[in-house]
Amino acid sequence: MVTSHSAAAARPAGVSLRRRGPVLERAILEAALEQLSSVGWNGLTMEGVAVGAQTGKAAVYRRWPSKEDLVADALRAGLPALGKAPDLGSVREDLYELCRRVRDVMYSKPGFALRAVLHECDAESAERFHELIVTGVTEPSARLFRDVVKQGVARGEVRADANDDLVLDVIPAMMMYRSKVCASEWSDGEIADLIDRIMVPLLRA
């Protein structure tokens, strides 16, 4: 008698599983994220996603008529939420905790997938993802950094005029630049240096 485990192990790669509805859609979206994070935007194909999800190519095209549509839904479904602004009693600790969260999102599978889209796709395709990036990444992170600075102002440890767009852009700009150009993975120690040597002096009341 063949067990379900041994049958699954014996199934050749690429053979379709009998899944439907949300279960199949979830498998396709996860396969799209896996492809993006491993082979990038240029290497991703609908056929490759179908193989990764162990379904037929027609099942992918039936739900998503283009690569852009599929990737947009995969990113929308996969990007982790940053949660609420930390409130640990000091702006230094709040910024440190928030930067670690942002770092973890950047280096998650959806984070790698998003960066592949940002770095590789052409201007026309990038426009397709603009709203998703703004609503799913840029605005939520900017709101949390602003909330942390407001908390610091209320405690009297941050100068009142520090809640400024240029000031709030420093951390995201540094993290993206060092990640993209310098291949920094932002260890906890590097995050602490960024906060202690740049942000705390910049914000100090």
Looking at per-residue pLDDT, the higher value among 179 and 4 belongs to: 179
Determine the angle formed by the axes of helices 67-78 and 109-120, rounding to 10 degrees. Answer: 140
Which residue do the tokens 């900017």 mark? 142
Task: Quick: pLDDT tens for 17-69.
Answer: 566 789 999 999 999 999 988 898 999 999 999 999 999 999 999 999 999 89
Work out the average pLDDT over 186-205. 94
Task: Quick: pLDDT tens for 143-178.
Answer: 999 999 999 999 999 999 999 999 999 999 998 888
Distance CA 160, CA 157 (A): 9
Give the long-range contacts of residues 19-26, CB within 8 A, separation 24 or more.
19/55, 24/53, 24/55, 24/59, 25/63, 26/77
Give all domains of the chain, ordered by start, each with its CATH number. Answer: 4-65 (1.10.10.60), 79-203 (1.10.357.10)
Distance of CA 2 to the CA centre of its chain: 41
Distance CA 104, CA 153 (A): 27
Distance CA 13, CA 2 (A): 19
DSSP state, residue 16: P
- Is residue 105 a contact partner of residue 111, using CB atoms and an 8 Å limit? yes
Please tell me the pTM assigned to this model.
0.77
Task: Quick: pLDDT tens for 64-91.
Answer: 999 989 999 999 898 888 889 999 999 9
Please name which of 109, 187, 176, 113 lies closest in space to residue 141, comparing C-alpha atoms. 176
- Is residue 158 classed as helix, strand or coil in its secondary structure? strand
Distance CA 181, CA 183 (A): 6
